[in-house]
Amino acid sequence: MFNPLAWPRTEVVEVAVQLPSPAANVQVFDSTGKVIPAQMIRMDESTHQAHLLLSAATPSLGYTTFYVRGAAKAASAASEVNATEHSLENSLVRLTVDPTTGCITSLLDKHSNSEILAPAETDTGGPRKATCGNLLQAFGDKPKAWDAWSIDADFEKEHWDIDKADEVKIEESGSLRAVLRVKKHFQHSSFVQDITITAGSPRVDVNMSADWNEKHVLLEGGVSTQRTQ
């Protein structure tokens, strides 16, 4: 695992490795023989290829070698992340998702014990009295000229908050990564948002796929944050 940056890094990394035979689980070691925290995602029984997560520590402008072997069970380790039906948490952050709207309504910085998300401040930023950290919005797109590329200055006049969830469920809950999956729709289009946290990281990722089938409609996503001391 190479680190091209000028400072050491420790991050959860997803990798695919080829094993000589199928295995129920894997164990990962570094060059000193130290057991590295790992989480099996899936094993391809036909090719013996394992997809897994590992907590990779690398020196600045350097690399670390990791060794992977099949195992009957994973090395015992306390889980660094926790998932419930409506929340995700690690040692640094805790977030809450509203099951009705699918919105991230709270993102707590545990180091400062302060709330990061803030309600919307503009007419098109979402509901003023509520918070939605992963809000999707649709806007009418009917420009007065050059329909293929022009967006008029007043396009925000017609807009819709996509704040109704079809489903919120735990998609993944492991020792290194946890994912809440939110499904939504708007008219003829559908969206899947995977809200993800990993061990030891203050970052929250929202990975989205969209099946977009609209005409003369724009889609926008955003987040409203507030300063913390």
Q: Which CATH superfamily is domain 82-222 in?
A: Golgi alpha-mannosidase II; domain 4 (2.70.98.30)
**pLDDT for the residue 34:** 93
Which string of b and e fits 106-133 if b means at least 16 CB within 10 Å?
Answer: bbbeeeeeeebbeebeeeebbeeeebbb
**pLDDT for the residue 120:** 65
Question: Using CA atoms in the order 83, 88, 89, 90, what is the torsion angle rounded to 10 degrees?
Answer: 80
Q: Which residue has the tokens 């401040």?
A: 121
Strands (E), 92-147: 93-97, 104-109, 114-115, 135-140
CATH of domain 2-71: 2.60.40.1180
Closest CA to 176 of 156, 154, 196: 196
CATH 2.60.40.1180 domain extents, the chain: 2-71
Q: Are 195 and 178 in contact (CB under 8 A)?
A: no
**pLDDT for the residue 32:** 93
Task: Write out the chain's pLDDT in tens, 229 residues.
Answer: 999 999 999 999 999 999 998 888 889 999 999 999 999 999 898 899 999 999 999 999 999 999 999 887 766 667 889 999 999 999 999 999 999 999 999 999 999 999 988 776 555 555 566 788 898 999 999 888 888 888 888 888 888 989 899 999 999 999 999 999 999 999 999 999 999 999 999 999 999 999 999 999 999 886 555 544 3
pTM of the model: 0.86
CATH 2.70.98.30 domain extents, the chain: 82-222
